[in-house]
Amino acid sequence: EAQVTQNPRYLITVTGKKLTVTCSQNMNHEYMSWYRQDPGLGLRQIYYSMNVEVTDKGDVPEGYKVSRKEKRNFPLILESPSPNQTSLYFCASSPQGADGYTFGSGTRLTVV
């Protein structure tokens, strides 16, 4: 089944403890991206990647890192999480947009 898989689905962590949210797609898509969704602020892009080893900042990159060492994986790294990074996170992939974007199931992150 064609899909974007995110893990974990839910995560509660403490301020400053490094964490990684994984994202993997099995559709051979070139484009992958991360979004966060917050009440009243909608969906905002964090980082995106046009292909392997090519990443760029979205609208809200502060406090996040990404890497794209292989086509299928695009992990989101929070080196020192803070409570303002509590949010619902989505990973998405696309064959450069022509067929739209496929979203993962989401990761609900709480930083206390």
Partner 1 sequence: ELKVEQNPLFLSMQEGKNYTIYCNYSTTSDRLYWYRQDPGKSLESLFVLLSNGAVKQEGRLMASLDTKARLSTLHITAAVHDLSATYFCAVDPPKLVFGQGTRLTINP
> Interface mask (CB under 8 A) for partner 1, residues 9-48, using x and -?
------------------------x--------xxxx--x
Task: Determine, following the binding rule CB under 8 A, whether residue 90 of this chain makes contact with partner 1.
Answer: yes
Given the rule CB under 8 A, which of 16-24, 61-69, 73-81, 98-106 is the region that contacts partner 1? 98-106
Among positions 11, 20, 52, 58, the unique one binding partner 1 when judged by CB under 8 A: 58
Contact status, residue 15 vs residue 103, Cβ threshold 8 Å:
no
Q: How many CB atoms lie within 10 A of CB 36?
A: 23
Tokens of 52: 């392997």
Tokens of 107: 């990761």
Tokens of 57: 């900042």
Tokens of 22: 């994984």
Task: Determine, following the binding rule CB under 8 A, whether residue 1 of this chain makes contact with partner 1.
Answer: no
